[in-house]
Amino acid sequence: MRFATWNVNSIRTRVDRVIAFLERSSTDVLAMQEIKCKPDQFPVDQFTEAGYEVRIHGLNQWNGVAVASRLPILKVEDHFAGQPAFGNPPVVEARALGVTVESPDSSPFTIWSLYIPNGRELTDPHYVYKLEWLRVLKENGVKWLSEDPKAQIAMVGDWNVAPFDEDVWDMTAFADATHVSQPERDAFFAFADDGWDEITRDRVTNYTYWDYQKLRFPKNEGMRIDFVYASPALASRVVEAQIDRDERKGKGASDHVPVIIDIAD
């Protein structure tokens, strides 16, 4: 089985590239972030024609997550328990979508498409929201593993955290900035303390995001902020991980690229 995660930065703008990627890569399940549309605006027909079912969680033109699968979908959750809200009035944003599919070996596989809050600035309420969001997600992760230690779960997406200095092109450019602050990094590493395995780090090296500004991509001034945390049972089946850097090339590219995982059946 092959699954992938990709912050597509507007599915309506990039649907042709996404469909081409699915067909070229033979991906079975794709988790998408920043779809930037409501469900009735999502280009479902093109996915259907390509052989994929789609489940969508989007509230407006911001955020939004979705999962496309060519495997049978068994269950869908549009938030995790206690997911924090933000704003005035507070809203539980469209940042998490859990989809359980029937994998080729007939065991259920659950993929959580996650778009972790950006944080904006260290003094911004959004930063507090980001840390709380990660804390509650961690609590859910503990619960999922305690309920079923053999569960096949992947928490994937745009984590908006660069865990190591090597995950940004120049640490001096991030002085007093989000994404690299110690509380964010601690929140990210805390998942590993509970038994989750970030399965890309030891298998592939590259950035996953390059800003559109200042020729960041041609200069390779990027960040590694898209990750895959797998439950122990799923991590033991990982065969390979890839970062498809070529998807940042050409007209109409997202500022993120797909992260691809192969699992032994």
Residues belonging to the active site:
115, 158, 256
Summarize the annotated binding site as residue ranges: 7, 34, 158, 160, 255-256
Which DSSP string corresponds to the chain? -EEEEEE-S-HHHHHHHHHHHHHHHT-SEEEEE---S-GGGS-HHHHHHTT-EEEEE--SSS--EEEEESSPEEEEESS-TT---BTTTTB--S-EEEEEEE-TTS-EEEEEEEE-----STTSHHHHHHHHHHHHHHHHHHHHHHH-TT--EEEEEE-----SGGGBS-GGGGTT-TTSSHHHHHHHHHHHHTT-EE-STTT----SB--SGGGTTTTT--B--EEEEE-HHHHTTEEEEEE-GGGGSSTT--SB--EEEEE--
